[in-house]
Every structure is written in C-alpha cells, then in structure tokens.
Structure 1
Amino acid sequence: MANFLTRTRGRRHGGTRLHWTDWLSYAYLLAGLVVMFGPVLWLVMSSFKTESALSQFPPTFLPYSQKEVVVAGYDKPLPLFKAKDDQGQVRELAQVRRIGLVATMVDPAAPQTEIRVNINDRQPVNELKFASGNYTEIFGKFAFGTYLWNSVFITVVATVLTLLFNSMAAFALSKYQFTGQKTVFVLIIGTLMIPPTIILVPAFLVISELHLLNNLWGVILPAVATPTGVFLLRQYMLTIPDELLEAARMDNASEWRIYWKIILPLAAPAMAVLAIFSFMWRWNDFLWPLIVLSKSEHFTLQLALNAFQGELNTQWHYLLAMTVITLIPITIVFAFLQKYITTGIASAGVK
C-alpha cells in the first residue's frame, strides 16, 4: 500500500526526479484537500475564538485575541495596545476608555498618568488563546444536553428502524416471486420522483391525527422506509445465491431465521452504506423537525442552532462551538463505516 501511494511516474521509469506530471498530480490533490477541508478547519479554529476575536478585521486563522492586563485602580482587566506616547516612543499601554478618535490610555507600571492617543496610532497586542469556555459554557447556558439527547435518540432509533423495514422489503422483493412484484418495486422507486416538500402537508396531517406533534416519534416514524434504501438493499440481495436459502429451507429453517441468520449477515456492506446515509439524513434533518416540534425541550441540535440566531444579537462563539460538536458524530460514523461504501454501492449494481 505504501509503495502504491508513493510511486511516481519519474521514478517508475528509472529516474531520480519527479516527473512534471507528478508535480501536477500533487498540486491537484493538495488543492482538492484545501478546498474540501479548509472551511472545516477554519470552522474548528474559529470555534476556539472569543466573541471579540470573531469580530476583528481582517480575520485570522488562529484564535488570536487581544491581550488584557490588570491595572491597579481599575476593577476589570484593560485591553493592551502598542501606542506612541507624547515623545513618539512606542510603548505598551492599557486603554481606559475611548471617546471618538481619542483613546485615554495608561502605562500599567504607572497608572497615575493618563495619556491621550489617536486611535490610528495604536495597534492591539494579540496573543494566541484558545477559548475552551465556548464548549464548556454551553452546557450551563443552554439546555445543550437535552438537544444532544434528542438528536441522538431520533438518529439512532430512526436508523435502526430504517435498516429493519428496508431490509425486510428488499428481502421480499429480491427473494420471493409473487403477483405484482415488479409493479410494487416500480411504485416504490417512482416515489423518488416526488419532491419531499409535496408530502409535507399530508404527513403533517397524519402525525397530527396520531397525536404525535411535539413528540420525537413524530419525527422518526414518517420516513423509516425509504425508496433509496429499498433499492440499494434489493440490488445487493439479488447477488446472494438462492441456493443458500433453499438449503436453509431443507434444514427446516423458518423464513425469519433465513432473513436474520443468512440475509442480514451477507448484506452487511449494503446495510453499512444505508446506515451511513440514514445517519446523515436524520442527524442533519431540519425542515421536518421544524414542522413537528415547537417546544424547545424537544428541539434537536439543528433546531437549537437556528434558535440561537437572534434578530438583534447572535452569540457566534457558542454557535460555532455547537456546530463543531454536531459534526463529530457524523465524522465518527463515517470513519468507521466508510470502507463499506465502495463495496456496498459497487456490489449493489452487479445485477
């Protein structure tokens, strides 16, 4: 594997230097890496910035924040600047107040003498500081634990039910012969052409009649069976030899046992692919939970993120920290199951 990843065209032909196509390939891969992961990395670094650091212009990649110093005679720490005094010397001064274009500053070592400086003649003294409080304080300021639990519960339960119902339907459509089999399959696939927004009102009326509004089950149940999942699993199950099922039936195995002991283990790659898709769909879902849930104690993380954006004030440092936290579960699931994606999708198209 290491030889495959490091081999180059120039060295493969006996040369010691990289071929120009090798440099072009590396440049292309590096550009793709920056385009794909650059915004995510910027988001992570911004989530460690203080509220004042986020409002600085021009913005910085690293979480720099203005240094503050404790000055005798003042209750709060004062921001530190590099400024010119009356003699034209550059010194580190602490700003007491600012009125218009003039800032009143003092020397931290001699705070008795006030110095007036034009704001254009000063530069803030920045220091690298990771504001870890953005992550720890959200648990005390907001019902973050409740939002996280609601999202985890909806995602996990919906994913399990999606795998169960879709695999059952795919098993029936791939391994049983009955009248109207192809018609049923075509109707299921045909629902892919219906935009999800078209069925929002009927789905809402059904959930309302079942008294599931402001209930997490009202978010879970409407889409536990997806046409994409049925199609993916059916195509994969068609590759499983029918002789295995016939041999199991000759050993008096029930249909449920065949499904549970033979079909599901052999369809594990496709099930893993569907699990990743379902997890991403449910974790990132915003529109349907917004319609069904109106009480804040039932909000998911996505609804909570939207609720934090006020009309007059938005606490961006908390919002960015919560956004990073919402990315962690999907990243973990994808990291553990990504090896099944290529196998599952490729095998699903064999027949």
Structure 2
Amino acid sequence: MTGIARLFTARRGVGRLHWTDWVSYAFLAVAVVLMFGPVLWLVLSSFKTPAALLEFPPTLAPVAQKEVRVEGYPQPLPLFSVPMEDGTVRQLAQVRRVGIIAQMVDPASPAATVRVPVDKRTPVREVAFAFENYIEPLAKFDFLRFLGNSLFVTVVATLITLVINSMAAYALSVYEFKGKSLAMLGVIGTLMIPITIILVPVYLVVTEMGLVNSLWAVILPGAATPTGVFLLRQYMLTIPRDLIEAARMDKASEWRIYARIVMPLSLPALAVLAIFSIMWRWNDFLWPLAVLTKSEVHTLQIALNAFQGELQTQWHYLLAMTVVTLAPVAIVFAFLQRFITTGIANTGMK
C-alpha cells in the first residue's frame, strides 16, 4: 500500500501540481479506463437479465424492472410510474396490455382497474443481480465437468511443457555439439508455421494413435513449443558457465545439475512460460474443437460455443460463463506475476 500511495502522491512541482503531473495523471486515468473498463462492463453485464441486455441505450449497472406481488394475481406484476390527471404520480402494476392501452391496478387496493396509455407510463427500475446466470449453466449444462476438463488439460499440459521445453533449452544452451546452430534455427523456424497448415497432419497422427475424444489429444501435440524453448534457452545462456563447471568438478551428474542448479536459477523464465502456457491452453478453441466431438470431454471454450445458436444467442449465459473462464487465469497471472518479481530479485550467484 505504501508504493501505491507514493504513486498517487508523487509530483514534480513543489507545493503544487506541475503541468506534467496533470498530463501524467490524465494519461494514467485514460489507461486505467481503457484496460479495466471492458472488464468491468463484462462483469456487470453478466448479472443482467436477457431483457436488460437488449435495452438501448444500455446501462452499466445491472438494473431490471421492479415487480410486486398483488393480491389476487399468482405472478408478480411489473411496476410503472403513471402521472395522473390531478398532477400526482402513482406507482401502478400492469395486469395486462391490449394494444396501446394497459390495464393497471394499485398494489395497495387492487379492486379498481385503471386504463393507461402505454406511452404515458415509465417503468420503475431497481438494481437487481441475476445470479441465475451463473447458477443455471453450472447446474443444467454440466459446466462443472467442462471446468474440470479445462483444469486438467491446462495443469497437465503446462507441467509437461515446462519439463520438455526446459530440457531442450538446457541442451541447446549448455552443451556444444555439431548441428547446434541448425537445431536452434529449426526451432525458431517453426514459429513461422501457422497452426492451420499442420492441423490436418497432426489430426491424422492423433487419429492413428487412437486419441480422438481424449483429453490427451489436446495435451500431447503442443507439449513442446518453440516459443518456450527459445525463451528458456535465451535465459539459460545468462547462467554463469563457471557454476555448471564447478558442479561437474564436484561429480554432479547432468540430471542433478539440471534439476538442482539450472532449474532453480531459471524460475523467472519458467514462470513467464507457465503464464503463456496457461493462457494458451485455457483459451485454446480450434484444436479441441477438431479432436473433441463428445460433449463429456468438451473444454470450457467449446462449451461456451453451445450458447451461440444459428438464430439466437444466450448472451446472459455466455457473459456469465466468460467471467467464470477468466477468473482462474486472472488469479494465476496475479500469483505468478509476484513470483516473477521475487525470482528476479533472488536470482544470481552468492
């Protein structure tokens, strides 16, 4: 909190704000709105009812028309503010509507019916959170299963990616062998190959292995990523070679050097790669859509597509489940971001 307070109280001028302070604060305010404004709109809209989402002009807060229970009517009735002939404004509940005329009653005395033109009334609104947007998909559409599938794919794939990429990066950064530059060139060259080119060959390989409709079909093809190998290799090159040679003189095996020296010193780069891998796996849509055809093995991203039909889109469910899919990634990113800072501060020879 001290750092945040220092950020908002820092100024260039002495005793008063300098013009550069105003420009800096204005720039920061605009940046905050641009970065967090869409996220705030997404979260608030996920609590709106389907009718509130279709309103124009849209509202930021989740508001809905107020309803009241009236004696003699089994269902709650919508409430409206109606100006009367004597200049007063009364709140009446709509019983039914026929054309441009609505039949309305006073909730306090529902015996008398009042006929009101629909253009002479104003809906009474109140802040209302539609929690059923979250409850119904999790209960009716088995979203907990899809959430478990995405968690399994993301966690297992990230662990495998970190192990395989770190071993490849260790070999390319520590060892000297013929063809090392060519191998590194091949790794970098694969970055220029889009996934659409290799989609069919990889699908045929997965089919021959019998992994279609299995979560391992999503995990294994992307276990080794050229981005991860390049990132870790560049970071491992900064590790002092004298430290590795000293470990070899102490009769440490290559596996022990890799696990006890190189990996701990590479924790900041591993954390960055973990963030990338989690985001890639969690948000992956095209490849899981190709190899997962059974609903019981669908991931969250494929399940979200089920709310988009040819004629209708269930926006209230789609927005709510989008928030659910974003929450784990945001939590992991916030945790690993602090871990990266700590790892960078603690890295080095003592």
Give the structure 2 partner of residue 226 of structure 1: 225
Q: Give the one of 8, 11, 33 matched to 2:11.
A: 8
Q: CA deviation at 1:99?
A: 2.3
User: Which residues in structure 2 correspond to 1:242-261 (within 5 Å)?
Assistant: 242-261=241-260
Q: CA deviation at 1:85?
A: 4.1
Gaps of 5+ in 1: 346-351
Identity rate, percent: 65
User: Which residues in structure 2 correspond to 1:45-56 (within 5 Å)?
Assistant: 45-56=44-55
CA contact (8 A) 1:70 1:77 kept: yes
Write out per-residue CA displacement over residues 61-92 of structure 1, whole angstroms, 9 at most, x where no aligned residue: 11111110001111100000001346554210
Identify which range, 54-63 or 161-170, moves more after superposition.
54-63
Q: What secondary structure is seen at the aligned counterpart in 1 of 2:116?
A: strand
Distance 1:27 1:7 in 2: 14
1:268 aligns with 2:267: yes
CA contact (8 A) 1:106 1:113 kept: yes
Distance 1:168 1:257 in 2: 12
Q: What secondary structure is seen at the aligned counterpart in 1 of 2:221?
A: helix
With over 3 angstroms needed to count, the CA separation of the structure-2 counterparts of 1:309 and 1:137, relative to structure 1, is same
Identify which range, 130-139 or 36-45, moves more after superposition.
130-139
Q: CA deviation at 1:247?
A: 1.6
User: Which residues in structure 2 correspond to 1:139-178 (within 5 Å)?
Assistant: 139-178=138-177
Distance 1:305 1:247 in 2: 53
Q: CA deviation at 1:138?
A: 2.2
Moved over 6 A (4+): 342-345
1:27 aligns with 2:30: no
Identify which range, 25-34 or 241-250, moves more after superposition.
241-250
Give the structure 2 partner of residue 348 of structure 1: none
Write out per-residue CA displacement over residues 242-288 of structure 1, whole angstroms, 9 at most, x where no aligned residue: 12222222222111111111110000000000000000011011111
Give the structure 1 partner of residue 132 of structure 2: 133
Give the letter aligned to residue 196 of structure 1: I
Q: What secondary structure is seen at the aligned counterpart in 1 of 2:220?
A: helix
1:241 aligns with 2:240: yes
User: Which residues in structure 2 correspond to 1:1-351 (within 5 Å)?
Assistant: 1=3, 2-3=5-6, 6-11=9-14, 16-85=15-84, 89-339=88-338
Q: CA deviation at 1:95?
A: 0.8
Q: What secondary structure is seen at the aligned counterpart in 2 of 1:80?
A: strand
Distance 2:40 2:200 in 1: 39
Distance 1:280 1:31 in 2: 26
Give the letter aligned to residue 124 of structure 1: P
CA contact (8 A) 1:84 1:117 kept: no
Distance 1:168 1:100 in 2: 73
With over 3 angstroms needed to count, the CA separation of the structure-2 counterparts of 1:105 and 1:86, relative to structure 1, is farther
Distance 1:283 1:164 in 2: 19
Q: CA deviation at 1:5?
A: 5.5
Give the structure 2 partner of residue 349 of structure 1: none
Q: What secondary structure is seen at the aligned counterpart in 2 of 1:73?
A: coil
Distance 1:136 1:155 in 2: 24
TM-score (structure 2 length as normaliser): 0.93
Identify which range, 83-92 or 18-27, moves more after superposition.
83-92
With over 3 angstroms needed to count, the CA separation of the structure-2 counterparts of 1:3 and 1:143, relative to structure 1, is closer
Identify which range, 53-62 or 233-242, moves more after superposition.
53-62
Q: What secondary structure is seen at the aligned counterpart in 2 of 1:330?
A: helix
Distance 1:22 1:111 in 2: 62
Distance 2:34 2:7 in 1: 24
Distance 2:82 2:310 in 1: 37
Distance 1:209 1:96 in 2: 64
Distance 1:9 1:276 in 2: 36
Write out per-residue CA displacement over residues 83-114 of structure 1, whole angstroms, 9 at most, x where no aligned residue: 13465542101111222222221111222222
Q: CA deviation at 1:215?
A: 0.8
Identify which range, 227-236 or 240-249, moves more after superposition.
240-249
Q: CA deviation at 1:28?
A: 0.9
Q: What secondary structure is seen at the aligned counterpart in 2 of 1:81?
A: strand
Q: CA RMSD in A?
A: 1.7
Q: What secondary structure is seen at the aligned counterpart in 2 of 1:105?
A: strand
Q: CA deviation at 1:50?
A: 2.1
Gaps of 5+ in 2: 345-350
